[in-house]
Structure 1
Amino acid sequence: MTNHAARVESWLDERADEMARLLERLVAVDSENPPGRALGRCARILSEAMGRLGLSPEIIGIADPSGRLEDPCVVRGTAGAGDPLLYLHGHFDVVPAQSRDQFTPVRRDGRITGRGTADMKGGIVAMLYGAAAAGELGLVGTGRIVVHLVCDEETGSVLGAGHLRDAGLIDPAAVAMVTAEPSGGVVWNAARGALSLRVEVRGREAHVGQADRGVNAFGHMLHVARPVERHAAETAGRHTVLPMSAGDARGNMLVVGGLSGSGSSFNVVPGSAFFTVDGRYDPEEDLQAELKRLTRIVEDAASEIGAEVSVHVTQLQPPAATPRDHPAAVALARVVGDLHGAPARFETCPGILETRWYAQLGIPAFGHGPGLLEVSHGPGEYVDEAAVRRCAAVYALYAGDMLP
């Protein structure tokens, strides 16, 4: 173990209880999204923690045209003051809980259980203490670490990470970006893209006693959805060449009809119907081409029976990938391997990551965090305290490698 690593780990071990208490405090804030509640309250706790750690906190308010989110904002902190720049990025919103008990954190046997521990409030604690350790121990050199924490990752991240990009708050000259998503110790150097659609079908209402005068939108919807389902099965057979976890499917994933509905009453011919299509696409895929393909499938099926349809795009987020031989990837793998005592593994995240907002600007971007994907979003979500500290050490030492 290098002298830097020993100093960093000692610094973090001395603050183990402090880190756990901060995580417990964050978990107790029910920042569920949707609906997007308690975001300002969580942001203030994060800002206070950044202040105590010497990270020069700033809360940046964000306008939400929908009015759905409660006090939407970005929390930004900095260690160091030089030009070479490393971003640490995370989100403090969490998916809805299965039980309100999940907002009462339980600390037992080196593990903290509760909503958001893995995804990704445990990762946030690791990033804050990793940045603080790098700053206090002189690892940032003549550079700086900027921590970005956003409020809406679970619902698309357009307001949070999108605001950072649109407002020019992401510097394309940054040396790298890491987000503390629950990668379970591997390095996610690639992530899938997302394409989501809502297909609406219009018919004509009529009372059941005069059903022959109506146009049944539900029946038309079934006809239109069937070829989309066949396409979903076909596209799942297109496999990425990039490495993935043994438990993750290597093909594109589409869910047809995750949401659907029709009609106004049981005794009225439905005059409208809808269904959704939600896809996760491997990094090799062209999402614009896939959008055209899906739209054509829907329109061709509709024309066969004279159905009136419209296709609405509700999400289009590109995939992101950084080559494993990129110098920033090689440096991260070296740090992770040294701290884990085994060579680092690169894999493709089976979902989408906010790495995309940085990768679009040419910044090498990675996911590496202390949680486990398989427990995230579940009723028994947890994170190991040792994993939080180990990832904090990764972030600090990676800054020492990347910032001269």
Structure 2
Amino acid sequence: MNGLENELESLQNEGLERTIRTCSNVPGKPGYTLRKDRLLLNLSSNDYLGLAQHPKIIESMRDVLLLEGAGAGASRLITGNRGPYDRLEESLAAWQNCEAALVFANGYMANSGVIRALAGRGDVVFSDRLNHASIVDGIVMSRAEHARYRHNDMEHLRHLLNKYRDRPRKLIVTDAVFSMDGDQAHLREIAALKREYGAMLMVDEAHSGGVYGVHGEGLCHELGLHDEVDVHMGTFSKSFGVYGAYVTGSRTLIRWLVNKARPLIYSTALPPAIVAGIGIALELVQAGHERRQYLLSASKLFRSSLGNAGFQVAEGNSPIVPVIVGDNHTALRFSEMLETDGIAASAIRPPTVPDGTARIRFSLTEAHTEQELIDAIAKICRVGHQLGVLET
């Protein structure tokens, strides 16, 4: 097909071909997964608070499924907006201490839809080079100027803001916690630059919502910066253990998105059962202080242990702990050997990460016990020595 097979062969030779593999949940063991009937410690899950199998969420979804049926049957602006949506959005706005909230089908739709609704030709969007692909694609589709600043380089961001200071609309967009590195954006400095140059600020809390904040509100709340954020976005597919995404902000913002966010307007609404499950998950997230404390403590242990062993580990305190190995084939082999040892840990390669920075992206959940993590660290170190990633 027009050279596709040759290009796929090139991807395979470069260690860049992606494949889809089947996994299954293990009832009663949220920190594990089944793959080819083998029980694996799951160190590649974003279910940070271990809620994906929580019985209260499942019970709520089952009840609404029987009442409302399998699907919404239409977009939210037609007849797809059901009662669970209204209740959830009221709760989200209260949780985030904002005027209003809007639920989207997923994070990709939320980011791409919001950015396209807020920026267009003649405007400029400032974006960290390591932002999620959904942010990048949203900027490209918006047709606004795309001003990418070097990762967490505030002087470069200032330079770009000064360069484009006369543009009619300026939007700064950043992940709060970067999905492949696990480090945090310099939100205090970004907020200060936003004020200085009269820009809007949008923060993606996909990997920080539920993990940070007294009630899991996210990193912006933990740092006391939530009032500086014009567009607060987060997802329900990670700490919440369900599916979907949200945007919170002013009533004016939400009214604008209802009228201009194309992924919302032209997509069938999330099934009511999913929305009901999210509502219960929100209650559990808000009450999950002990879960958050344990998760961050376990992440600190895991990160420091691998760093002390000699691995190249990115700084941070999030449950995302990447081990940089560099070579694509080495990363694939590392992942395969870990699976043989009973650990599911995915190899992440370009273009998801920059060339030469292929890695094993470990991702912890509250469901992992300390002993499970200690045993996993020993196995990871053994494989590291075998592959020459660690010096003997």
Question: Considering the TM-score relative to the shorter chain, is it more than 0.5?
Answer: no
Higher alpha-carbon Rg: 1
The structure richer in helix per residue is 2
TM-score (normalizing by structure 1): 0.27
The structure richer in strand per residue is 1
TM-score (normalizing by structure 2): 0.27
